[in-house]
Amino acid sequence: MSGRWWRIRPRTRRTELQLLVLVSVTLVVGAASLGATLRYQAALAADKTVGTLDLLPPDPRALAIYIGALFAVHAAFVLAGRRIDQVLMPAVGMLGGLGLLLMQRLPQSLVSQSFGDAVLGLGQLQLAWLLIALAVIAVLAVAVRSDAWLRTYKYTWAAAGIALLLLTFVFGSDVNGARLTLSIGPLSGQPSELLKVILVVFLAGYLSENRSLLADESTRIGPLRLPPIPYLAPMVAMWAIALGIVVVQRDLGAALLFFAVFLALLYVATGRPSYAVGGVILFVVGSWVLYNLFGHVQQRVDNWLDPFRNPLGSGFQTVQALYAFARGGILGVGLGAGLPTIGGRLPVPAVHTDYPLAALGEELGLIGLLAILGLYLVVVERGLRIAAAAHDDFRAILAAGLALVVAVQAFIIAAGNLKLIPLTGITLPLISYGGSSLLANALVIGLLLALSDPGVEPPPPPRPARRWLRRPGRRAARAGGVDAPAIGDAVLPGAGR
Amino acid sequence: MMGHTTRAPIGDNVLRTGLALVAAFAVLALGATWWQVVDAQRLSRAADNPAVIAVARRALRGPIVDRDGRWLARSSRDSNGEAVREYRDDTISPVVGYASRQFGTAGLERTYNAELLGLAGSDPFDGLLDKFGQGSQTPLGLRLTLDLRLQRAAVSGLGKDRGAVVMLDPTTGEILALASTPTYDASAIANPTTAAGTFEALRNDKSDPLLPRATLGRYVPGSVFKILTAIAGLNTGAITPQTRYPQQPAAEKNGLLVNGFRIKDGHHPQTGSTPLDLVGATEVSCNIWYALTGLAIGGGNLVDQASLLGFGAPIPFDLPTAVSQVTSGTGSAPGGFQDDVELASAAFGQGQTFVTPLQMALVASAVANDGVLMRPHLVSALTGDGPGTRAIDPQVWRRAISVTDARSIQTAMQAAVEGDLGRLFTSGAKVPGVPTAGKSGTAELGGTGEPHSWFIGFAPVENPKVAIAVLVEQGGRGGARAAPLAGSLLERYFQLYGQP
């Protein structure tokens, strides 16, 4: 295998390079504006006058490292010589860069971690996570040349996901009333971020295998057409377990995300709107039950309906976020000119995790906000394009699911920030502070890039359809899936065709 | 790689899912547009918006001056660089209000908080250009229509009594004086060191100095309400200036029987047994004539006509206003009256009728201005050199009375002040050398307390310059307290602005 590296021909990637230059220029201009504004405001607070316009970014080294890393990833892609998507990485780099600028601009003491003598603040930590995320993207995009390891072990992945959640439930620590964080030694993370990727992999495997059955056969219950019960059961079970645990953990955002992605993928696989409609009805009923059972759900909903009723208490964050959006107006107040702190306190305490959109909406205005939403749509468009071009159902559903998981998460938190739906505490993908979130989204983007290579290893030969091999054949078919030439195929040169 | 699937293509489903996502993101864009453009101005000026609070600590609020440029409120920095707000005297407090770090804002300081702080980035589209210029944070000043000299005269005229005075130019709606007593020291509330003690004492004061009586006080009007009944009667055609009721002279002696209830009135010996017309009934303030007129108009019409003059809803104004009412509206008779007894009583200003002094001043003003009601206003210009400076021009609010009918009422009101019989009641309101019109009121409160003393009027009768409403809480008969005070204030006006 080592000998093959010599045979890889570098392939230039002009589009990606041009887009990266655009992204870099934008980030440098933004950082220069941020630096000038911060110095101006500091001088104003100290009653001094600012003589000359100083455009030095607040942390030029961090910015240089980040932009350097973007080009390093580009170089790796060029050297790998794969024909992977050229738009995805610059879009992701822009979102990550915006997040980095925001984190550099917020009070650095918001999050800090000490390593020996060195104390890293918010901006530096975010940079570190971004670099790791870019490394993950690069490694996945360059090295993954087969999806067999995902396709074959879907039940193993599902089991691992559930185990991860159970671990969190038992050993996790409570933060803000939700048990989301799992700590192992010095490392801590939010497993639900990883779980969303696992969920997509499992759903892709299961739905692609049972797609025609789910689409063609149905059980009628009154006016409702439901998927055939035996094929629905494992999926609903998986879903119920995940949802149950998520509800116990009080992670409403993740619950909403999982359910929305599940419904969307069910539609992608079957093309049946009635399943999605049934799911929405199920969701409404479930929400109503949750609302009546749980105080914290009620509080969220009440805050959503009328945050101004208690603007200094439970509605504080929502109201302050709306004020931030309003201050931004159409063009924004400018990077660094927003009001992140008042008298040393944050008006929106979770601005770096749950409310980055409010801060960006204030400083970049409606224009900037629309641009950010547009960048997410670019990511989705690339993902869905990869899905539509995929050679087989598994890959199509997997790619669609990975794109959806980013888009739906961005929608849920953005809609919560904008008071279109009740706020649920999840991160804004690729912008929010947080290692788990960045790494999970890096997994998503890396896998999407790998799948985008038209030369990715061909799917295993189609199995005989289930229709002819009812129960007795089922075991055989699955076994065939495991030791099919898939493993051996993995070493076939994808690019050598 | 060939034909390995016979299933339906998945691409269409992916496409539709993508379109659904685009639609969802379009909703996000609409939501952002709502908060950042449509609703942005309101949110950006909210008193608890941290940006507003932060600016309020630093910024020097804009100055407030009267119509001739006399300062009423001004800001300076103390030795620590903190902004200090200072007010000229107690007489303007019910109008200008206060701006306190601890207790928020009141009065014009509240209404124009954003402008005075320099936060009023006009509308979002003007704000677009503000960003590129200097001075988007320049506090604006207010030039009022108020005349400090008249305001002071009104407050000193009310003296130790509780009451209110409203003076305005009927042709423009410019408020010249808006007095309320007792008043308070707004500078002491604005000063952080004395604010708490001052505010606590004022809140516990039973005489309610913090209540701006001219705009938020609601009082039984008594006979000044008859002017509104006359307007309603003429507007609806229920009466003409010549209407006489044959039963009226007798009813003065025996009371007017309505639904078995006898409405009584003092007899006017001077008029003998002659039935009165509009002028005569207004001159002697005949309750029976107005009760009969009210019954002829009908409850529904009376309430509708009153709303034409501003009753039944807050008056659009620079300060918050209480709603004036003809009736509490809980009854089943037309207009919400309980029965004809209440209607007949309301027609001469008793019953469940409650009015603000500002509302009654507007009634006088509409009559004076030949039936056209101008929109009352206190601010004539936003001054300064930032964006958002502008003049606020007089605006017609609505025509409330036809010219002919307004002239008839003018004649009746002039008779009430200057007529042979009117003089007996209301001579104190007469400005020497200036034809004066008006109507006094003595609002019975039930029980043993002194009645509220009222006067509304205007001068000169032709080409009026000033309309007035005076209320003195429990000041006795209208002719005895309110009318002479109105007369002296009108006289002061003509001293200052010249005889016509």
Q: What is the block-wise mean pLDDT of chain B (500 residues), using blocks of 10 residues?
A: 51 90 95 90 79 76 94 87 88 94 86 83 54 61 96 95 96 96 93 89 91 94 95 94 89 79 73 86 91 94 94 94 92 89 92 94 96 96 84 94 94 92 82 93 84 94 95 89 94 91
The pLDDT of residue B80 is: 73
A322/B35 touch (CB, cutoff 8 Å), yes or no: yes
Name the 3-class secondary structure at B498: coil
* Helix H or strand E segment including A238: helix A229-248
Query: Strands (DSSP E) along B252-323, which ranges?
Result: 256-258, 261-263
B124 to chain A, closest Cα gap in Å:
7
Cis peptide, bond prior to residue B432, ω within 30 of zero: no
CB < 8 Å to B25, chain A: 373, 376-377, 407, 411
Name the 3-class secondary structure at A430: coil
Name the 3-class secondary structure at B79: coil
B51/A327 touch (CB, cutoff 8 Å), yes or no: yes
B27/A420 touch (CB, cutoff 8 Å), yes or no: yes
User: Nearest 5 degrees, angle CA A215-CA A216-CA A219?
Assistant: 90
Question: Burial, B331: exposed, middle or buried (Cβ in 10 Å; 0-12, 13-18, 19+)?
Answer: middle
Q: CA separation (Å) from A148 to A209, A456, A462, A492? A: 14, 11, 14, 12
Cβ-contact B368, B377 below 8 angstroms: no
B14/A387 touch (CB, cutoff 8 Å), yes or no: yes
Q: What is the DSSP letter of A426?
A: -
Kindly report the number of other CB atoms within 10 A of residue B239's CB atom.
24
The pLDDT of residue A220 is: 67
Q: Residue A329: which of B18, B48, B124 has the nearest Cβ?
A: B124
Cβ-contact B405, B235 below 8 angstroms: yes
| Of B157, B153, B249, the residue nearest B495 (C-alpha) | B153
Q: Find the DSSP H helices in A249-355.
A: 252-270, 273-293, 295-305, 316-328
CB < 8 Å to A455, chain B: none
The pLDDT of residue A230 is: 67
Token pair of B306, please? 């009153």
Cβ-contact B164, B478 below 8 angstroms: no
A361/B13 touch (CB, cutoff 8 Å), yes or no: no
CB < 8 Å to A392, chain B: 4-5
Cβ-contact A396, A74 below 8 angstroms: no
The pLDDT of residue A179 is: 62
B432 to chain A, closest Cα gap in Å:
57
Token pair of A322, please? 């709306």
Q: Find the DSSP H helices in B419-481.
A: 422-426
| Of A365, A212, A463, the residue nearest B33 (C-alpha) | A365
Provide Rg for chain A, Cα atoms: 24
Q: How far apart are CA A487 and CA B1, in angstroms?
A: 18
B386 to chain A, closest Cα gap in Å:
18
Cβ-contact B221, B348 below 8 angstroms: no
Which of B16, B21, B36 should one mutate to test binding to chain A, selecting the residue with the greatest count of A CBs within 10 A?
B36
The pLDDT of residue A367 is: 94
Q: CA separation (Å) from B63 to A210, A245, A382, B76, B149? A: 76, 61, 58, 10, 18
Between strands B141-144 and B64-65, the pairing is parallel
B1 to chain A, closest Cα gap in Å:
7
B35/A327 touch (CB, cutoff 8 Å), yes or no: no
Where along chain B do its domains lie? 222-379+391-497
| Of A386, A364, A288, A217, the residue nearest B36 (C-alpha) | A364
Q: Residue B35: which of A268, A325, A408 has the nearest Cβ?
A: A325
A174 to chain B, closest Cα gap in Å:
31
Cβ-contact B374, B173 below 8 angstroms: yes
Q: CA separation (Å) from B496 to A269, B492, B500? A: 87, 6, 12
The pLDDT of residue A284 is: 82
Q: Residue A323: which of B10, B17, B43 has the nearest Cβ?
A: B43
A461/B31 touch (CB, cutoff 8 Å), yes or no: no
| Type of residue numbered A162 | I
| Of A173, A194, A195, the residue nearest A184 (C-alpha) | A173
B54/A320 touch (CB, cutoff 8 Å), yes or no: no
CB < 8 Å to A342, chain B: 50, 53-54
**Could you list the pLDDT tens digit for every one of the 497 residues in chain A?**
445 555 678 888 999 999 999 999 999 999 999 998 888 878 877 777 777 777 888 889 999 999 999 999 999 999 998 889 999 999 999 999 999 999 988 888 778 777 777 788 888 999 999 999 999 999 999 988 888 888 888 888 888 887 887 787 777 766 655 666 777 655 667 777 888 898 899 889 888 888 777 777 666 666 666 667 666 666 676 667 656 755 677 777 888 888 888 889 888 988 888 777 877 887 788 778 878 887 777 877 888 888 887 766 777 888 888 988 988 888 888 888 877 565 555 667 788 888 899 999 999 999 999 999 999 999 999 999 999 988 888 999 999 999 999 999 999 999 999 999 888 878 999 999 988 899 999 999 999 999 998 877 777 666 555 544 444 444 444 444 443 333 333 333 433 33
A271/B35 touch (CB, cutoff 8 Å), yes or no: no
* Helix H or strand E segment including A207: helix A191-209
Cβ-contact B469, B377 below 8 angstroms: no
A269/B43 touch (CB, cutoff 8 Å), yes or no: no
Q: Find the DSSP H helices in A453-493.
A: 471-483, 486-489
| Of B155, B141, B46, the residue nearest B93 (C-alpha) | B155
Number of residues that this document lists for chain A:
497
The pLDDT of residue B261 is: 80
| Of B385, B329, B406, B321, the residue nearest B141 (C-alpha) | B385
A413 → chain B, closest CA residue = B28
Q: What is the DSSP letter of B386?
A: S
Cβ-contact B248, B289 below 8 angstroms: yes
A413 to chain B, closest Cα gap in Å:
10
Q: How far apart are CA A258 and CA A192, in angstroms?
A: 10
A346 → chain B, closest CA residue = B50
Number of residues that this document lists for chain B:
500
A345 → chain B, closest CA residue = B50
B28/A326 touch (CB, cutoff 8 Å), yes or no: no
B37/A392 touch (CB, cutoff 8 Å), yes or no: no
The pLDDT of residue A180 is: 65
The number of helices, as runs of H, and strands, as runs of E, in chain A is 19, 7
B49/A271 touch (CB, cutoff 8 Å), yes or no: no
Strand partners, B440: B455
Q: Which of B93, B180, B187, B223 is catalytic?
A: B223
| Of A430, A40, A327, A392, the residue nearest B7 (C-alpha) | A392
Q: What does B160-221 look like in DSSP terms, one character per residue?
A: TS-EEEEEE-TTT-BEEEEEEES---HHHHHSTTTHHHHHHHHHH-TT-TTS-HHHH--B--
CB < 8 Å to A462, chain B: 4-5
CB < 8 Å to B50, chain A: 320, 323, 339, 342, 347
Q: How far apart are CA A203 and CA A235, in angstroms?
A: 8
CB < 8 Å to A367, chain B: none
Report CA dihedral (B276, B278, B280, B284) to the nearest 10 degrees. Answer: 100
B54/A312 touch (CB, cutoff 8 Å), yes or no: no
B120 → chain A, closest CA residue = A327
Q: What is the DSSP letter of B418?
A: H
B14/A384 touch (CB, cutoff 8 Å), yes or no: yes
A393 → chain B, closest CA residue = B10
CB pairs under 8 A between A and B: 152
A329/B12 touch (CB, cutoff 8 Å), yes or no: no
| Of A319, A439, A374, A325, the residue nearest A98 (C-alpha) | A374
A418 to chain B, closest Cα gap in Å:
6
The pLDDT of residue A365 is: 92
| Type of residue numbered A43 | A
Which of B1, B16, B25 should one mutate to test binding to chain A, selecting the residue with the greatest count of A CBs within 10 A?
B25
B17/A264 touch (CB, cutoff 8 Å), yes or no: yes
The number of helices, as runs of H, and strands, as runs of E, in chain B is 21, 17
The CATH label, of 3.40.50.1440, 3.40.640.10, 3.40.710.10, 3.40.50.12780, for the domain at B222-379+391-497 is 3.40.710.10
Strand partners, B377: B174
CB < 8 Å to A407, chain B: 21, 25
Strand partners, B471: B164, B454
CB < 8 Å to B5, chain A: 392-393, 462
Name the 3-class secondary structure at A382: helix
- Quick check: is B93 catalytic? no
Q: Residue A384: which of B18, B24, B50 has the nearest Cβ?
A: B18
Query: Strands (DSSP E) along A163-247, which ranges?
Result: 173-175, 178-184, 187-189, 219-221, 224-226
φ, ψ dihedrals at B368, nearest 5°: -60, -40
| Of A41, A18, A24, the residue nearest A335 (C-alpha) | A41
Q: Residue B44: which of A326, A365, A393 has the nearest Cβ?
A: A326
Strand partners, B398: B373
CB < 8 Å to A419, chain B: 31, 35
Cβ-contact B152, B91 below 8 angstroms: yes
Q: How far apart are CA B453 and CA B486, in angstroms?
A: 11
Cβ-contact A225, A218 below 8 angstroms: yes
Prediction pTM value: 0.68
* Helix H or strand E segment including B64: strand B64-65
CB < 8 Å to A334, chain B: 131
The pLDDT of residue A496 is: 35
Which of B10, B27, B48 should one mutate to test binding to chain A, selecting the residue with the greatest count of A CBs within 10 A?
B10
